[in-house]
Amino acid sequence: MKKIKKLYNRTTRTILILIAALIFGFAGYKVTASHVEDQITTAPVLVAKGDIGPFQELTKDNTQVVQKVISEIPENAIKNFDELKVGDSFASSIGFMAGVPIQQNYITTAAQSKLGTSVGLTKGMHEIGVTTDLTMSAGGEIMPGTKVNVVGSYKDGRTNETITLSDAKLTNIKVVKVKNSEGLTIDPTSTASQVPAVIVLEVNEMQAQRIVDYQEKGKVYLMLTGTDQK
């Protein structure tokens, strides 16, 4: 005990205090230096060129990449346009002000939007529902984002023969939604029915009229051809 007291004298205490001061001083310097660096170092970030309204699509025309100091860039900001899903990235209900970084948590997709998939429709395009079942929808393999060919089928009242209707303009049509008989979106993780009852397609005016004609005459079969990415 006496030996410990002998070692822990005034000189030792002074040395320990100096060491502690140096450690805290260095830590403070690093924090300050890091803060200053964030104030002067820049990085690329995607911002709104002008005011972007609620649910407006984000495109290369209304966004741009600029250099901003790191301290002004939110953690979840989009760094460049390639990080967006082209054709399916929209502002949320609050939009973006000019010059403000585009943040991931303020972006929505057509499927997630409060206005539904209608926000993703381009001019001249419409959504139409097609009555279906497992047989008429490729065994239930048709999902949103896939492409289908539309084929009609009905029985001739005079000859009782089955007539098949097809049109080259009713090919590679985009599937927007798939719902069950309860009107719920089919989700493989849900306990709700997985049997499709209605499939919503994105079509132009002519295609819509032709599909309505097919449905009024008989049945509409959807042949899976691929995905929206192909």
Model pLDDT, residue 36: 52
Q: Share the mean pLDDT of the chain.
A: 82
Q: Has residue 26 got a pLDDT over 80?
A: no
Final residue of a structural domain among 87, 112, 137: 112
C-alpha 152 chain-centroid distance: 33
Examine the domain organization and report whether 128 and 216 are in the same domain. Answer: yes
CA distances (Å), origin 44, targets 35, 48, 95, 111: 19, 13, 21, 29
CA atoms within 13 A of residue 227's CA, in its CB half-sphere: 4
Model pLDDT, residue 215: 92
The answer to whether position 33 is within a domain reads no
| Confidence (pTM) | 0.56
Helices (H), strands (E): how many in the chain? 3, 10
Across 110-129, b (16+ Cβ under 10 Å) vs e yields beebeeebebbeeeeeebbe
Examine the domain organization and report whether 170 and 104 are in the same domain. Answer: no
Instruction: Tell me the β-bridge partners of 173.
Output: 148
User: Mean pLDDT throughout 151-177?
Assistant: 90
User: Mean pLDDT throughout 199-203?
Assistant: 92
Q: Which amino acid is at 123?
A: K
The CATH number linked to 105 is: 3.90.1210.10
What tens digit of pLDDT does each residue of 143-161 get? 888 899 999 999 888 888 9
Model pLDDT, residue 171: 94
The C-alpha angle with vertex 130 and arms to 222 and 88, in degrees rounded to 5, equals 85
The answer to whether position 11 is within a domain reads no
Examine the domain organization and report whether 81 and 105 are in the same domain. Answer: yes
The answer to whether position 22 is within a domain reads no
Final residue of a structural domain among 85, 112, 139: 112
- Residue 175 φ/ψ, nearest 5 degrees: -90, 130
* Residues of the domain holding 139: 121-227
Examine the domain organization and report whether 128 and 98 are in the same domain. Answer: no
Helix (H) or strand (E) holding 38, with range, is helix 10-40
Final residue of a structural domain among 112, 137, 163: 112
Q: What is the DSSP letter of 103?
A: B
Q: Residue 130 and residue 174: Cα distance in Å, rounded?
A: 13
Q: Residue 196 and residue 111: Cα distance in Å, rounded?
A: 18
The answer to whether position 13 is within a domain reads no
Closest by Cα among 213, 224, 226 to 153: 213
Model pLDDT, residue 28: 66
The answer to whether position 214 is within a domain reads yes
Top pLDDT among 37 and 230 is at 37
